Amino acid sequence: DAKKLVRSPSGLRMVPEHRAARSPFGLDEPPWVPDKECPRCMQCDTKFDFITRKHHCRRCGKCFCDKCCSKKVPLPRMCFVDPVRQCAECALVSQKETEFYDRQLKVLMNGATFFVTLGASDKSELMVCRLSNNQRYLILDGDSHYEIEIIQISTVQILTEGFTPGGGNTRAIGMILQYKVPGSEEVTQMKFTAGEDFSCNKKLSAAWLAAMHKATKLLYESRDQ
């Protein structure tokens, strides 16, 4: 998908030429709180003057003094080319998301192998599941082939084992995914189960499911914006 470099008051961004091609995990730039409506820092209440300048957080758009908005952190969800100024609260959130973009997104794109059951069928098919390079489709390849548009996914339930009432570690062993068929209100369900045989890497499958769980959270946040 073609991209273009655009400049906004917040900085340089590399965005898709067509909005329909944007990542489903992306966020829009927030509107900035107007300077005239912000005589004081919205964190520490310091009054702005010629010495104490005001700065806008690129993630939330609120107005802060330099001390409360000094960190420059990568913000790939808004397609910024370089790290941008963010308030302490937003910087913490963006730093946590960096792991998803640096590691977990690559895990999803590399894919993993699962037994996939469609709907109420009692038959499963061994399939390689991966996220497309443009992040917009979940691709399943086996004897059959499916391409599920990420924005059509309505719910994702991660299946685990190993939990006990007294606590203890759990391990992701599968997921149940529901999505809408484009052009229809029909909801289709798929169940993904990590294989028990040696042809399936259970550790890789668990890592892929954990990454999918994080991706789902970001997807819901993007929808709620």
At 49-94, the pLDDT tens digits run 989 999 999 999 999 999 999 999 999 999 999 999 999 999 999 9
At 18-57, the pLDDT tens digits run 877 888 998 999 999 999 999 999 999 999 998 999 999 9
Give the pairing type, strands 112-118 and 124-131.
Answer: antiparallel
pTM of the full predicted structure? Answer: 0.81
Higher model confidence: residue 221 or residue 80? 80
Options 3.20.20.70, 3.30.565.10, 2.30.29.160, 1.10.645.10; CATH of 111-224: 2.30.29.160
User: Domain locations in the chain?
Assistant: 3-94, 111-224
Same fold, 3-94 and 111-224: no
At 182-193, the pLDDT tens digits run 777 889 999 999
CATH node for 3-94 = 3.30.40.10
Q: Which of 23, 211, 201 is nearest to 103 (CA)?
A: 211
Q: Tell me if 153 sits within 8 A of 25, measured CB to CB.
A: no
